Structure 1
Amino acid sequence: MKKWLPVALACLLSACSSSDNKTYYQLPLPQAGVQSTASQGSHLLWVEQVSIPDYLAGNGVVYQTSDVQYVIANNNLWASPLDQQLRTTLVANLSTQLPGWVVASQPLGSDQDTLNVNVSGFHGRYDGKVIVSGEWLLNHQGHLIKRPFNIEVKQQQDGYDAMVKTLAQAWSQEATSIAQSINRLP
Structure 2
Amino acid sequence: MKKWLMVFMALALSACSSSEESKTWYQLPSSQLLTQSVASQGSRLLWVEQVAVPDYLAGNGVVYQTTDVQYVIANSNLWASPLDQQLRTTLVANLSNQLPGWVVASQPLGSDQDTLNVTVTGFHGRYDGHVIVSGEWLLNHQGQIIKRPFHVELAQQKDGYDEMVKMLAQAWGQEASAIAAEIKRLP
2:125 is matched with: 124
Deviation at residue 38 of structure 1 after TM alignment: 1.6
Figure out how many residues of one structure are paired with residues of the other and give that number: 183
> Does structure 1 conserve the Cα–Cα contact (< 8 Å) formed by 2:29 and 2:169?
yes
> Are 1:53 and 2:54 an aligned pair?
yes
1:18 is matched with: 17
CA distance, structure 2, for counterparts of residue 100 and residue 171 of structure 1: 22
Which 5+ residue runs of structure 2 have no aligned equivalent?
A: none
CA distance, structure 1, for counterparts of residue 119 and residue 7 of structure 2: 51
> Does structure 1 conserve the Cα–Cα contact (< 8 Å) formed by 2:32 and 2:93?
no
CA distance, structure 1, for counterparts of residue 10 and residue 59 of structure 2: 30
One-letter identity of the residue aligned with 1:94: L
- Superposition TM-score, scaled by structure 2 size: 0.91
Change (3 A) 1:10 1:139: same
Q: Percent same amino acid among aligned pairs?
A: 72
Deviation at residue 108 of structure 1 after TM alignment: 0.5
Change (3 A) 1:32 1:6: closer
Deviation at residue 32 of structure 1 after TM alignment: 5.3
Computed over aligned residues only, the root mean square deviation of the Cα atoms, in angstroms, reads: 2.0
Runs of 4+ off more than 3 Å = 4-14
> Does structure 1 conserve the Cα–Cα contact (< 8 Å) formed by 2:60 and 2:78?
yes
2:108 is matched with: 107
One-letter identity of the residue aligned with 1:49: Q
Alignment of 1:55-94 (within 5 A): 55-94=56-95
CA distance, structure 1, for counterparts of residue 156 and residue 132 of structure 2: 11
Task: Identify which range, 146-155 or 14-23, moves more after superposition.
Answer: 14-23
2:36 is matched with: 37
One-letter identity of the residue aligned with 1:21: S
- Superposition TM-score, scaled by structure 1 size: 0.91
Change (3 A) 1:56 1:66: same
1:149 is matched with: 150
Which 5+ residue runs of structure 1 have no aligned equivalent?
A: none
Which secondary structure state, in structure 1, belongs to the residue aligned with residue 84 of structure 2?
helix
Deviation at residue 37 of structure 1 after TM alignment: 1.2
> Does structure 1 conserve the Cα–Cα contact (< 8 Å) formed by 2:120 and 2:136?
yes
